[in-house]
Structure 1
Amino acid sequence: MKTKRFFLSVLTLAAIAAGCSNSKPSGGSPDGSADAGATKSIAEQVNRQIIGIDPGAGIMKSTAQAIDTYGLKDWKLVEGSGAAMTAALEKAIKDKKPIIITGWTPHWMFAKHELKYLKDPKNVFGGDEQIHTFARLGLKADHPSAYTVLDKFEWTPEDMAVVMSAIQGGKKPEEAAKEWVEANPDQVNGWTEGLALASGKSLKLGYVAWDSEIASTHVVKAVLESKLGYKVTALQVEAGPMWAGIAGGDTDAMVAAWLPTTHADYLSKYKDKVEDLGPNLNGTKTGLVVPSYMDIDSIEDLLKP
């Protein structure tokens, strides 16, 4: 089955979330907050739409596969961005309306809202993933101190959540990262101890505009600059250009590769042109996510009349 996809802006996605008010969540009072729409199926409540992110993201490919695997005929995967998706989610939750999104953890939205993953009995989205660090070939010889920091860099979802929450609360990524680095001297010293200073040498780090990657990239940037004296440029691009930049040597490294599923196609394409320094974070997850107030537990429930 060919998946129908549409690209929408943040405003359009917000309109979609508002439009869901025409088909209220399970529960039935006229204000939509309790039992409204009890006679409507989940499919009707959300207008057979799953709100997604960037069209090149691996989670979008997995969601398209899920639509096919579970036989979700006439369902639409809405393309946009991470920011557009969260804007639509926030609008829906504010009005207590139904919505289905492509979600992943770590992400600040799980700390802010009560959300749940839909069970995936056919395991389309796979199990837990890891976020890996990749470097361009030759980085170790050109910048041994930076290479060592990147190789040693590893933190937890809880660490990342602190930075993501600070950014979501209004702080600039640079400020949130600096605060985390200053608050965790032992951990940071474990990455930098005994390394030679860079004396203003330049580095480029690529990253995608996901909250998790914004957090990790700016923390590494802060460490390289404040502890070793590098001048670091953080380049925000989409996943394809991020991988291509490292493979082509235009970008030095990234700490933003989700494996084994999300970025599998890019790794397959560029594996001989990049160096995998291993995971920097364990315990990530992707899948379809809904507000906890929705009366649905599994992707299979989307088929119910």
Structure 2
Amino acid sequence: MIKLKSIGIPLYLSFSLLLTGCGNGEEAEDNGEETANLSEALDYTITGIEPGAGTMDLANNTLEEYENLEGWELLEGSTAGMLTELGEAIDNEEPIIVTGWTPHWKFASYDLKFLEDPKGTFGGVENINTIVRKGLEEDMPNAYKILDRFHWEPEDMEAVMLEAQDVSFEEAAKNWIEENQDSVDEWTEGIEKVDGKAIELVSTPWDTERSSGHVMKAVLEQQGFKVTLTPVDPAVMFQSVANGEGDASLAPWLPVTHGSFYEETKEDMVDLGENLTGARIGMVVPDYMDIESIEDLQPKE
């Protein structure tokens, strides 16, 4: 098993396995040999992230659904470790397949592509939603309105993630707010400030959610709230909002990635809808790899 190394995590928003594509046509036999050689060179492994992440559940399901992935292994590790392995492979122009998503800074830093997913096991385009506990509208109407109005674009999230490679997420979020005050004014227009009211935002521990979480934390603090931002696993995130221990989250990926957690808790919380559209998850590879689809991979002999 590959030993995954730790690095600081940078920017972008869709999950997927990224890989390069193969030619086809009359050279099908040669291509079959090439993809067999590629699969062997990859040691029939896909480099994943933290166990329990929605992306890993989808990747495991993909291994089960594609007959040509018989014998393949999904390596558990960390997002930081996956990014280290990806960067080292690209530096040496070596083959690698990783579980990936966008928005994420890796797409800005490297030439990457998603492998086609004919069976749709990773789902299609996803949204990131805002959920809040029941009773928040009555208890904190000012915060509720801001959370309900919050919406930004993948490019906004990526900008925070990318800058956070060089500065803290707190500083990157504040810089984004200064540069996008018009958007923030739309979220806070007509809302009176409070005096130290405590609110807890729960999130998942990835750079996408660090970006939205720190931006909202800074916006709410400007409005006089005392904000706690707590990173937890996805299942705990949904449970904490559903049972009222956490007040809100900007982190659910729907309808597929966190769909099972959402279905279990949706009756016990309030869904305020999308705060970002255009996210994606899948298998990702460097663009120099001569492969285009998950189906191009060969089973382990």
Scaled by the length of structure 2, what TM-score is found? 0.87
Alignment of 1:116 with 2:107, yes or no, is no
Q: Is the 8 A contact 1:8 1:78 kept in 2?
A: no
Q: Which residue of 1 aligns with 2:270?
A: 275
Q: Which residue of 2 aligns with 1:143?
A: 140
Structure 2 vs 1, CA of residues 8 and 209 (structure 1 numbering), >3 Å: closer, same or farther?
farther
Q: Is the 8 A contact 1:7 1:79 kept in 2?
A: no
Amino acid at match of 1:271: K
* Cα separation, 2, equivalents of 1:206 and 1:38: 46
Q: Give the 5 Å matches for 1:74-93.
A: 74-93=71-90
Q: Which residue of 2 aligns with 1:14?
A: none
Q: Is the 8 A contact 2:163 2:172 kept in 1?
A: yes
* Cα separation, 1, equivalents of 2:45 and 2:212: 31
Alignment of 1:153 with 2:150, yes or no, is yes
Which range moves more in the overlay, 282-291 or 41-50?
41-50
Q: Deviations over 1:129-164 (max 9, x none)?
A: 000000011111111111111100000011111101
Alignment of 1:234 with 2:229, yes or no, is yes
Gaps of 5+ in 2: 7-19, 23-32
Q: Which residue of 2 aligns with 1:253?
A: 248
SS of the aligned residue for 1:285 comes to strand
Structure 2 vs 1, CA of residues 275 and 303 (structure 1 numbering), >3 Å: closer, same or farther?
same
Shift of 1:60: 1.2
- Matched residue count: 276
Q: Which residue of 1 aligns with 2:103?
A: 106
Match of 1:216 among 182, 199, 212: 212
Share of identical aligned residues, percent?
Answer: 46
Q: Deviations over 1:68-104 (max 9, x none)?
A: 1111111111112222211211121122211100111
Q: Which residue of 2 aligns with 1:225?
A: 221
* Cα separation, 2, equivalents of 1:104 and 1:70: 20
Match of 2:201 among 185, 201, 205: 205
Structure 2 vs 1, CA of residues 7 and 246 (structure 1 numbering), >3 Å: closer, same or farther?
farther
SS of the aligned residue for 1:60 comes to helix
Alignment of 1:193 with 2:201, yes or no, is no
* Cα separation, 1, equivalents of 2:35 and 2:104: 33
Give me the CA root mean square deviation. 2.1
* Cα separation, 2, equivalents of 1:263 and 1:140: 24
* Cα separation, 2, equivalents of 1:8 and 1:196: 52
Which structure is higher in RCO with an 8 Å CA cutoff and minimum separation 6? 2
Gaps of 5+ in 1: 1-5, 12-24, 28-36
SS of the aligned residue for 1:279 comes to strand
* Cα separation, 1, equivalents of 2:92 and 2:205: 27
Shift of 1:231: 1.0
Q: Which residue of 2 aligns with 1:301?
A: 296
* Cα separation, 2, equivalents of 1:43 and 1:117: 17
Match of 1:51 among 35, 47, 50: 47
SS of the aligned residue for 2:267 comes to coil
Scaled by the length of structure 1, what TM-score is found? 0.86
* Cα separation, 2, equivalents of 1:185 and 1:243: 30
Alignment of 1:183 with 2:179, yes or no, is yes
